[in-house]
């Protein structure tokens, strides 16, 4: 279950997790989705300009508001904008103050522990009414390998890092399996509210309804996770979802067009967006050796061998088994566009993938792109001999190897 909590406790997508991407949406979009299922939240409205922010704040009829930068990353409150503004979450006391903060946030990049040094652009802010919590809880719905189905994970210790809670006090985590077809029944939901320590019948009922409806969203919308941290019991005796993170399964895009229409590609690495259009599995990293490999397992093994020889991969790139010379050329364009790449290592094991297709793509790309970066190639398997002959006749300076260790070592040396 700790593995499931780690998954629920972060929206960061690590390269080592493999090829699959899961759609994430902004907080204001999550709030709208929660509200559409009758799940209560503080009143929240998004704005995309300082003037709109002023008008939205004025429309609240209250001076006690919070302004939040809408960036797809955790740790916004402790982040810093590239223009010097500290923090992506601020209390505001007037429409003028809201406008001032918006003018500094919008168009600037927010740098958090999850964005990397480059940060992510802030194109919208969200204004929310301030609701004072008497107690904060943690709630998540996700798929759990251990139980082989969906679970609701909850804790009375919300508003903090759930992984730390799980590590320090495993008993503070309550895991409730949910029958996939039937969903969460009212008796089970009320029992969970009881275990979490809600004080009276009204708050127990409100919490139970939230649990039930969270699973409805999870199932209806093909979510991979829903995380509410915190869910709060307010000082005026109500239960509200104060913050929400959603992830959705990319395989369901064909039937969740309304959800996937919310995708914000400005929050994604541009090279990864381009790769996705070409059906390439690509994740940008920070090293200097560009990698072009077929198969996720071989791609990760290749990155490990490069690291073993003192190098750092610049990317995870799996061209898959159905690559053509055209997709190989596109992969090359992605690699050479990265100024950090100092050498390119092509490691292909030809099974379904034909080595001669890779060779053709490599030769064409090298000529068309006037490649100056050292190119190291290891081709084994289907049409291997033909591929090697094509490379030999091309007249290009390509370092060809049969042994993985030798090829990786050469790629690292040339990158240095």
d(CA 56, CA 63): 12
Residue 17 located in a structural domain: no
Residue 59 located in a structural domain: yes
Grouped pLDDT means (10 residues each) for the chain, 416 residues: 43 36 87 97 97 96 92 91 96 96 97 89 96 96 93 93 88 95 96 95 97 98 95 96 92 94 84 76 90 89 94 89 77 87 91 85 86 90 91 87 93 92
pTM attached to this predicted model: 0.73
| 309 and 285 inside one domain | yes
Angle among Cα 395, 292, 268 to the nearest 5 degrees reads: 130
| 176 and 151 inside one domain | yes
Q: What integer pLDDT is reported at residue 281 of this predicted model? A: 83
Residue 7 located in a structural domain: no
Is residue 312 within 8 Å of residue 288, measured between CB atoms? Answer: yes
Q: What integer pLDDT is reported at residue 286 of this predicted model? A: 87
| 119 and 137 inside one domain | no
Is residue 128 within 8 Å of residue 44, measured between CB atoms? Answer: yes
Helix axes of 384-394 and 355-368: crossing angle, nearest 10 degrees: 20
CATH number of the domain where residue 409 is located: 3.40.50.261
Contacts from 211-215 at CB under 8 Å and sequence distance 24+? 211/139, 211/152, 211/154, 211/184, 212/183, 212/184, 212/185, 212/186, 213/37, 213/38, 213/39, 214/39, 214/139, 214/141, 214/152, 215/141, 215/150, 215/152, 215/178, 215/183, 215/184
Q: Give the residue numbers annotated as catalytic, written as ranges.
A: 138, 227
Q: Is 285 strand, coil or helix? A: coil
CATH number of the domain where residue 93 is located: 3.30.1490.20
Residue 244 located in a structural domain: yes
Residue 96 located in a structural domain: yes
Q: What integer pLDDT is reported at residue 21 of this predicted model? A: 55
Q: What integer pLDDT is reported at residue 248 of this predicted model? A: 94
| 246 and 361 inside one domain | no
Mean pLDDT computed over every residue of the chain: 89
d(CA 390, CA 58): 69
| 295 and 410 inside one domain | yes
Residues annotated within a binding site for ATP:
68, 75-77, 136
Tens-digit pLDDT profile for residues 337-386: 889 999 999 998 888 778 888 888 888 888 888 888 899 999 998 989 99
Residues annotated within a binding site:
68, 75-77, 136, 229, 243, 294, 351-353
Q: What integer pLDDT is reported at residue 13 of this predicted model? A: 34
| 173 and 273 inside one domain | no
DSSP of 210-275, one letter per residue? HHHHHHHHHHHTTEEEEEEEEEEEETTS-EEE--EEEEEEGGGGGG-HHHHTT--GGGS-HHHHHH
Is residue 24 within 8 Å of residue 246, measured between CB atoms? Answer: yes
CATH number of the domain where residue 197 is located: 3.30.470.20
Q: What integer pLDDT is reported at residue 10 of this predicted model? A: 31
| 249 and 324 inside one domain | no
Q: What integer pLDDT is reported at residue 357 of this predicted model? A: 86
Residues annotated within a binding site for Mg(2+):
229, 243
| 408 and 275 inside one domain | yes
List the beta bridge partners of residue 80.
Answer: 86, 111
**How many Cα atoms within 13 Å fall on the side-chain side of residue 97?**
12
Tens-digit pLDDT profile for residues 157-198: 998 888 888 889 999 999 999 999 999 999 999 999 999 999
Which of 230, 261, 292 is the last residue before a domain boundary? 261
Q: Please give, one letter per residue, the 3-state secondary structure of 382-401.
A: CCHHHHHHHHHHHCCCEEEE
Domain count across the chain = 3
Residue 30 located in a structural domain: no
Q: What integer pLDDT is reported at residue 154 of this predicted model? A: 97
Is residue 23 within 8 Å of residue 33, measured between CB atoms? Answer: no
Q: Strand 109-111: give its sheet, edge to edge.
A: 80-81, 109-111, 120-121
Residues annotated within a binding site for substrate:
294, 351-353
State the burial class of residue 71 (Cβ atoms within 10 Å of its Cβ: 0-12, 13-18, 19+). buried
Residue 21 located in a structural domain: no
| 273 and 367 inside one domain | yes
Q: Beta-carbon neighbour count of residue 19 at 10 Å?
A: 15
d(CA 342, CA 337): 11
Which of 213, 234, 261 is the last residue before a domain boundary? 261
Domain containing 95: what range? 43-129
Phi and psi of 365, rounded to 5°?
-65, -40
Which of 219, 238, 261 is the last residue before a domain boundary? 261
């Amino acid at each position: 279950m700790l593995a499931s909590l780690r998954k629920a406790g972060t929206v960061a997508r690590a390269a080592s997790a493999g090829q699959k991407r899961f759609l994430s949406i902004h907080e204001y979009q999550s709030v709208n989705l929660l509200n559409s299922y009758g799940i209560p939240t503080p009143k929240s409205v998004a704005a995309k300009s300082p003037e709109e922010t002023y008008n939205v704040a004025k429309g609240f009829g209250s001076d006690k508001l919070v302004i939040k930068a809408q960036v797809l990353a955790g740790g916004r409150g402790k982040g810093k904008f590239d223009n010097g503004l500290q923090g992506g979450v601020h209390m505001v006391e007037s429409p003028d103050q809201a406008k001032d903060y918006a003018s500094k946030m919008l168009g600037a990049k927010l740098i958090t522990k999850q964005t990397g040094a480059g940060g992510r652009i802030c194109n919208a802010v969200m204004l929310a009414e301030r609701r004072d919590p008497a107690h904060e809880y943690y709630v998540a719905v996700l798929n759990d390998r251990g139980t082989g189905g969906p679970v609701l994970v909850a804790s009375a210790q919300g508003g903090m890092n759930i992984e730390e809670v799980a590590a320090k006090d495993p008993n503070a985590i309550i895991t409730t399996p949910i029958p996939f077809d039937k969903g969460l029944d009212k008796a089970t939901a009320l029992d969970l509210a009881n275990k979490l320590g809600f004080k009276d019948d009204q708050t127990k009922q409100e919490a139970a309804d939230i649990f039930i409806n969270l699973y409805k969203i999870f199932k209806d919308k093909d979510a991979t996770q829903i995380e509410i941290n915190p869910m709060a019991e307010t000082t005026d005796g109500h239960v509200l979802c104060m913050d929400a993170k959603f992830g959705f399964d990319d395989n369901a895009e064909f039937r969740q067009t309304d959800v996937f229409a919310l995708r914000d590609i400005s929050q994604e690495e541009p090279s990864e967006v381009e790769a996705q259009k070409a059906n390439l599995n690509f994740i940008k990293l920070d090293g200097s050796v560009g990698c072009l490999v077929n198969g996720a397992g071989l791609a990760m093994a290749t990155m490990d061998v490069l690291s073993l020889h003192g190098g750092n991969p610049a990317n995870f790139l799996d061209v898959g088994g159905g690559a053509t010379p055209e997709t190989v050329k596109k992969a090359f364009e992605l690699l050479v566009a990265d100024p950090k790449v100092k050498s390119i290592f092509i490691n292909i094991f030809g099974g379904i993938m034909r080595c001669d297709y890779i060779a053709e793509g490599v030769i064409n790309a090298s000529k068309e792109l006037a490649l100056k970066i050292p190119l190291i190639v290891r081709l084994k398997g289907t049409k291997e001999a033909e591929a090697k002959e094509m490379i030999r006749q091309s007249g290009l300076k390509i370092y060809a190897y049969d042994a993985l260790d030798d090829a990786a070592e050469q790629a690292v040396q040339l990158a240095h």
